[in-house]
């Protein structure tokens, strides 16, 4: 097997890196441990690729760019309609970026940002440019719309749906539709719970719980008391109540 096209002996390439012999590596590059670089990759001069990055596809990265650990570049695009057609990726010079390792089966789209100390569950969707500030917790199956922002130390509950361009400054309730700047809660995400196959009984229980929380003239403590009195044997409603009772910032209503 022939060696990749490496233009300068000043390159620092870790012995565990796997680089296609067809890749082009410019002068003065630094490539860390366990990096994988595919056939059609072009790295300009002085590019730094930290450990465990994967660069594949028809990808061109400009001079002095810096890819941080666990970045994936040039793989199939974030488009559910993608059918294997040819795609290209181009990253300009001196660009810096990275991705935080999060839960399983998440779909993190272009320009999304997960800041320090965030905890992201499984099956979370973050649309384009959705932004999490530091110390945010996002529970399983939540969906955060494009260009939305979540304030530091907030929680986004399980299966919550945050509408696009929303600004969330308190905890976003599980199973709920939360939209706006500043965000307001519009009750049960009916489309979401139906798509996930919840029973009619569960949907009715959640709908009644949200009615008591949002549409009655009760305060939150009174609403929780009524929920616990009127709704029995619903683990989802119990989860909703626990989420509210454990909130430190308050919840979006």
Active site residue ranges: 116-117, 134
Token pair of 31 as six digits: 């490539």
List C-alpha distances in Å: 65 to 15, 46, 123, 134.
Answer: 21, 7, 30, 25
b/e per residue, 116-141, with b = 16+ CB within 10 A? eebebbeebbbbebbbbbeebbbbbb
Indicate the SS3 state at residue 176.
strand
In the chain, which residue ranges form alpha helices assigned H by DSSP? 190-195, 200-210, 220-230, 235-245
List C-alpha distances in Å: 228 to 127, 208, 246, 248.
Answer: 35, 11, 16, 21
Indicate the SS3 state at residue 77.
coil
Q: Quote the CA–CA distance of 101 and 111 in Å, as a whole number.
A: 16
Q: Quote the CA–CA distance of 8 and 16 in Å, as a whole number.
A: 19
Q: Quote the CA–CA distance of 209 and 3 in Å, as a whole number.
A: 64
59, 89 Cβ separation under 8 angstroms: yes
């Amino acid at each position: 097997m022939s060696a990749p096209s490496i233009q300068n002996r000043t390159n620092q390439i870790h012995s565990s890196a796997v680089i296609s012999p067809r890749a082009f590596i410019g002068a003065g590059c630094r490539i860390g441990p366990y990096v994988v670089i595919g056939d059609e990759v072009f790295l300009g001069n002085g590019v730094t690729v930290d450990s465990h990055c994967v660069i594949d596809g028809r990808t061109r990265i400009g001079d002095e760019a810096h890819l941080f650990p666990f970045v994936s570049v040039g793989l199939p695009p974030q488009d559910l309609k993608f059918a294997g057609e040819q795609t290209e990726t181009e990253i300009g010079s001196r660009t810096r970026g990275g991705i935080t390792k999060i839960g399983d089966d998440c779909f993190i789209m272009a320009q999304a940002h997960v800041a320090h100390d965030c905890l992201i569950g499984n099956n979370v969707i973050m649309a384009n440019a959705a932004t999490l500030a530091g110390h945010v917790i996002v529970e399983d199956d939540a969906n955060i719309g494009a260009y939305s922002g979540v304030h530091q130390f907030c929680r986004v509950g399980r299966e919550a749906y945050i509408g696009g361009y929303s600004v969330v400054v308190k905890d976003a309730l599980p199973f709920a539709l939360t939209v706006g700047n500043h965000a307001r809660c519009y009750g049960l995400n009916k489309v979401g719970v139906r798509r996930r196959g919840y029973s009619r009984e569960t949907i009715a229980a959640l709908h009644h719980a949200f009615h008591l929380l949002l549409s009655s003239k009760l305060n939150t403590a009174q609403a929780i008391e009524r929920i616990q009195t009127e709704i029995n044997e619903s683990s989802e409603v119990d989860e909703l109540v626990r989420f509210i009772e454990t909130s430190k910032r308050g919840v979006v209503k």
